[in-house]
């Protein structure tokens, strides 16, 4: 899926993204979450400044999860870089507590965390954010595990790999349908993209995961096709070596002859002796 992943330790200023904290923390009028330039720009989107001139703003489709196992909220927000800002900011209207969850975000305090998953190549087109609160009983184990990253002060944000998140999921013994599991769907998305109905059903069962965009599905299909092609090339090279050594008399790479065959094509070999391949 090629999502760009990051973890952010939240400051009091970051929490002004939420209306309740803005009105109760008394830390100024930022109303946004800082996206540290050394991570968001230098590592994730190095061309964003050039690509967004002169406006310095990117509209995004935003999915918010947590704290705890709270369900998704989908909002339209923007990422901006004002002339006086050092960092880019996740900005827009206040995020308010839902009517049916009037204290949902009130649990968040400075030192809590946010996982980010950005979609997009040159600039982000959508983002999924999972908030992890120390005061949420459901977040306790995960929140404790995040101390290993040592995020603080100016180094409050870090780029992550899917393997980092997989290790966190395993170490904190999170359930399969935990929102954080939606950050590591590359393998299943690639399988679904090439027609694996079982993988598609597993994705659909992750009720808390945001909908998969057509762009993400296209990229997953392209990645799966590339992986399949490389696998065929590896097998073909092996069979060519066997043919040179006399282990087989010949082989046929079906999709190389006719591209209409599926990319998981047949690679059949004619074997002169049964024990030649044993």
Q: Calculate what percentage of the chain has a pLDDT beyond 70.
A: 72
The answer, yes or no, to whether residue 211 has pLDDT greater than 90, is: no
Sequence-separated (6 or more) residues with CB below 8 Å from residue 177: 205, 206, 207, 208
Q: How many CB atoms lie within 10 A of CB 157?
A: 25
The pLDDT of residue 197: 61
Q: Would you state the structure tokens that stand for residue 180, as one six-digit string? A: 């954080």
| Residue 238: band (very low, low, confident or very high) from pLDDT cuts 50, 70, 90 | confident
Which carries the bigger pLDDT value, residue 123 or residue 154? Answer: 123
8-22, 75-89, 127-141, 254-268: least confidently modelled range: 254-268
Q: 117 and 64 in contact (C-beta within 8 Å)? A: no
User: Measured at the alpha carbon of residue 154, what is the angle toward residues 182 and 64, in degrees to the nearest 5?
Assistant: 25
Provide the whole-model pTM: 0.70
The answer, yes or no, to whether residue 259 has pLDDT greater than 80, is: no
Which domains occur in the chain, in start order? Answer: 4-178 (2.40.330), 229-277 (no CATH)
Over range 23-52, report the average pLDDT: 91
Local structure of residue 44 (DSSP, 8 states): I
Q: 123 and 53 in contact (C-beta within 8 Å)? A: no
What Rg do the C-alpha atoms of the chain give, in angstroms? 24
Over range 180-187, report the average pLDDT: 72
| Residue 83: band (very low, low, confident or very high) from pLDDT cuts 50, 70, 90 | confident
Q: List 129's β-bridge partners, or say none.
A: 64, 116
Q: Would you state the structure tokens that stand for residue 276, as one six-digit string? A: 């030649």
Mean pLDDT of the chain: 80
Picking from 34, 2, 3, 57, the residue whose alpha carbon sits closest to that of residue 157 is 34
Q: How many CB atoms lie within 10 A of CB 241?
A: 11
Highest mean pLDDT among 42-56, 192-206, 208-222: 42-56
Task: Render the burial of 7-25: b for 16+ CB within 10 Å, e for the rest.
Answer: bbbbbebbbbbbebbbeee
Q: In the chain, how long is the greatest CA-to-CA distance?
A: 82
The bridge status of strand 57-65 relative to strand 126-132 is parallel
Over range 232-243, report the average pLDDT: 76
Look at the block and give the residue holding tokens 């009517």: 99
Picking from 82, 73, 95, the residue whose alpha carbon sits closest to that of residue 35 is 82
> How far, in Å, CA of 178 to CA of 170, rounded?
12
> How far, in Å, CA of 213 to CA of 192, rounded?
13
The pLDDT of residue 239: 77
């Amino acid at each position: 899926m090629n999502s760009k992943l990051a973890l952010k330790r939240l400051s009091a200023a970051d929490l002004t993204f939420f209306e309740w904290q803005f009105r109760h923390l008394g830390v100024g009028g930022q109303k946004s979450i800082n996206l540290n330039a050394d991570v968001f720009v230098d590592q994730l989107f190095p061309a964003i400044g050039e690509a967004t001139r002169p406006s310095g703003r990117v509209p995004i489709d935003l999915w918010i999860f947590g704290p705890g196992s709270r369900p998704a909220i989908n909002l339209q927000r923007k990422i901006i870089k004002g002339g006086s800002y050092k960092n880019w900011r996740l900005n827009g209207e206040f995020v308010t507590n839902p009517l049916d969850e009037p204290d949902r975000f009130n649990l968040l305090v400075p030192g809590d965390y946010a996982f980010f998953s950005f979609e997009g190549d040159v600039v982000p087109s959508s983002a999924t954010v999972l908030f992890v609160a120390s005061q949420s009983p459901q977040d306790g184990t995960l929140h404790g595990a995040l101390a290993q990253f040592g995020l603080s002060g100016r180094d409050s944000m870090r780029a992550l790999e899917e393997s980092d998140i997989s290790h966190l999921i395993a170490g904190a013994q999170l359930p399969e349908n935990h929102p954080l599991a939606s950050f590591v769907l590359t393998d299943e998305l690639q399988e679904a993209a090439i027609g694996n109905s079982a993988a598609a059903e597993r994705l659909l069962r992750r009720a808390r995961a945001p909908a998969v965009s057509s762009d993400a599905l296209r990229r997953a299909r392209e990645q799966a096709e590339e992986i399949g092609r490389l696998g065929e090339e590896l097998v073909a090279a092996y069979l060519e070596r066997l043919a040179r050594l006399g282990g087989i008399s010949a082989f046929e790479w079906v999709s190389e002859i006719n591209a209409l065959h599926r990319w998981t094509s047949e690679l059949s070999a004619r074997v002169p002796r049964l024990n030649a391949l044993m």
